[in-house]
Amino acid sequence: MKKFIVLAVIVLLCVASWAGATYFVGANVQSRYTGLIDQYGHFGPFTLTTQSYDKGFLESRAQTVVEIRVPQSPSEDGQENAEDAVSFVFEHTFRHGPLPLGASGQQTGGPALALVETRLVSFSADEEDFEKLLAEIPALAEPFAFSKIALDGSVRSRVTIPAFENQSEGNLVRWGGFTLESQAGPDMKTLMGTFDMPKMELIMADGRLTWNGISGRFDLAETLPMLYVGTSQASFGVMDMSFIDKQSGQLKTMQMKGFEVASDSSVDGTLVRYEQTLEFGGVTVEGETFGPGVLEIEMNNLDGEALSSFQGQVQDLYRDSDSFNPEELVGRMLPLYLQLFQNLAAGNPELTIRKLHFATPQGDVDGRVRVKLDGNAGAAAGNPAALLQSLDAEADLSVAESLARSLAKDTIRQNLMGARERGDFPPYSDEEIANLVEQQVDGQIDGLLAQNFLVSDGANLKASATFSNGELVLNGTLLPLFQGQ
- pLDDT of 314: 87
CA gap 164, 137 in Å, rounded? 7
CA gap 92, 118 in Å, rounded? 4
Q: What is the DSSP secondary-structure string of 249-303?
A: --EEEEEE--EEEEEEEEEETTEEEEEEEEEE--EEETTEEE--EEEEEEEEEEE
Residues 6+ apart with CB under 8 A from 122: 88, 89, 130
**Exposure of 290 in the CB half-sphere (CA atoms within 13 A):** 8
**Residue 111 or 359, more confident:** 359
Whole-prediction pTM: 0.82
CB of 261 closer than 8 Å to CB of 215: no
Confidence label for 6 from pLDDT (cuts 50, 70 and 90): very low
Q: State which H helix or E strand residue 33 sits in.
A: helix 2-40
Q: What is the DSSP secondary-structure string of 111-138?
A: -EEEEEEEEEEEESS-HHHHHHHHHH-G
Q: Please classify residue 286 by burial: count the beta carbons closer than 10 Å to its beta carbon, then call 0-12 exposed, 13-18 middle and 19+ buried.
A: exposed
7-16, 27-36, 141-150, 296-305: which is most confident: 296-305
Question: 226-259 pLDDT, tens per residue?
Answer: 899 999 999 999 999 998 887 777 888 899 998 9
CA gap 347, 390 in Å, rounded? 12
- pLDDT of 150: 84
- pLDDT of 194: 96
- pLDDT of 125: 60
Average pLDDT over residues 305-319: 88
Provide the percentage of residues in the chain whose pLDDT is more than 90.
Answer: 40
CB of 144 closer than 8 Å to CB of 119: yes
Domain residue spans in the chain? 1-162, 173-361, 399-479
- pLDDT of 383: 66
- pLDDT of 148: 87
- CA terminus-to-terminus distance, the chain: 108
> Dihedral (C-alpha) 319, 323, 325, 326: value to the nearest 10 degrees?
0
Confidence label for 371 from pLDDT (cuts 50, 70 and 90): very high
Average pLDDT over residues 78-93: 73
- pLDDT of 27: 62
Q: What is the 3-state secondary structure (H, E, C) of 138-158?
A: HHHHCCCEEEEECCCCCEEEE
pLDDT at 12 over 50: no
Average pLDDT of the chain?
Answer: 83
Residues 6+ apart with CB under 8 A from 280: 257, 259, 291, 292, 293, 294, 295, 358
Longest pairwise C-alpha distance within the chain: 117
CB of 229 closer than 8 Å to CB of 223: yes
Q: Please classify residue 481 by burial: count the beta carbons closer than 10 Å to its beta carbon, then call 0-12 exposed, 13-18 middle and 19+ buried.
A: exposed
Give the amino acid at 328: E
Average pLDDT over residues 347-366: 95
CB of 305 closer than 8 Å to CB of 269: no
Average pLDDT over residues 129-152: 78
Q: How far is CA 115 from the centre of its chain?
A: 30
pLDDT at 379 over 70: no
pLDDT at 100 over 80: no
Q: Is the peptide bond before 292 cis (omega within 30 degrees of 0)?
A: yes
CA gap 465, 475 in Å, rounded? 6
